[in-house]
Structure 1
Amino acid sequence: MKLLMFIKELTMLIKSLRGLCLCLESGSGDKLSNCTKQHIQKLLKANMMGPYGSEWAVEEKVKRREMVAPQARYIFVYWNANEMMDNAFTPLLGFLHFRFTLEEEIPVLYLYELQLDSSVQGKGLGKFLMQLVELIAQENRMGAVVLTVQKSNSLAMKFYISKLRYVVSSISPSRVDPLVGVEKNYEILCKTFDHEAKAILEVYSVQYRTARRVGFMAAFSDLKFED
Structure 2
Amino acid sequence: MESKRAQNSKEKKIRRKEVLEKKKAIDDTIKKAAAVKDHLASFPPFCQYNRNGLSVYLESGSGDQLSSLIKKYIQNLLKANMEGMYGSEWPMEEKVKRREMIAPEARYIFVREFPNSTPDEKSLKADEKAGGDRLAGFVHYRFIVEEDVPVVYVYELQLESCAQGKGLGKFLMQLIELIARKNQVGAVMLTVQKTNVAAMNFYMNKLRFYTYVT
TM-score by length of 2: 0.71
The match for 2:211 among 165, 168, 174 is: 168
Structure 2 CA distance for aligned equivalents of residues 24 and 14 of structure 1: 8
1:201-212 matches, cutoff 5 A: none
Shift of 1:66: 0.3
Is this contact kept in 2: 1:52–1:150, CA < 8 A? no
Equivalent position to 1:78, from 106, 109, 112: 112
Question: What is the CA-CA distance between 1:9 and the residue it aligns to?
Answer: 6.4
- Is 1:55 aligned to residue 89 of structure 2? yes
Q: How far apart in 2 are the matches of 1:36 and 1:109?
A: 23
**What is the Cα deviation at residue 26 of structure 1?**
0.5
Indicate how the Cα distance of structure 1 residues 166 and 9 shifts in structure 2: closer, same or farther if over 3 A, else same: farther
Distance 2:212 2:164 in 1: 26
Which 10-residue stretch deviates more, 121-130 or 67-76?
A: 121-130
Larger RCO, structure (CA 8 Å, separation 6 or more) = 2
What are the ranges of 5 or more consecutive residues in structure 2 without an aligned counterpart?
1-38, 127-133
Shift of 1:85: 7.9
- Residue 163 of structure 2, aligned match among 104, 112, 120: 120
Gapped regions of structure 1 (runs ≥ 5): 172-227
Q: Do residues 100 (structure 1) and 136 (structure 2) align? A: no
Distance 1:118 1:86, change over 3 A: closer
Equivalent of residue 29 in structure 1, options 63, 74, 83 = 63
**Which segment drifts farther, 39-48 or 87-96?**
87-96
Give the letter for the 1:60 counterpart.
Answer: E
Whether the 8 Å contact between 1:108 and 1:144 is mirrored in structure 2 is yes
Amino acid at match of 1:19: G
Describe the shift of the 1:106–1:168 C-alpha distance in structure 2 as closer, same or farther (beyond 3 A): same
Q: Which of these two proteins has the greater Rg computed from alpha carbons?
A: 2
Separation (CA, whole Å) in 2 of partners of 1:66 and 1:118:
23
Does the Cα contact within 8 Å between 1:108 and 1:145 map onto a contact in 2? yes
Amino acid across the alignment from 2:98? R
Alignment coverage as a number of residue pairs: 165
Percent identity, aligned pairs only? 58
2:72 is the counterpart of 1:38:
yes
- The aligned residue for residue 65 of structure 1 is 99
Equivalent residue letter for 1:57? P
CA RMSD of aligned residues (A): 2.3
Partner AA of 1:29 in structure 2: G
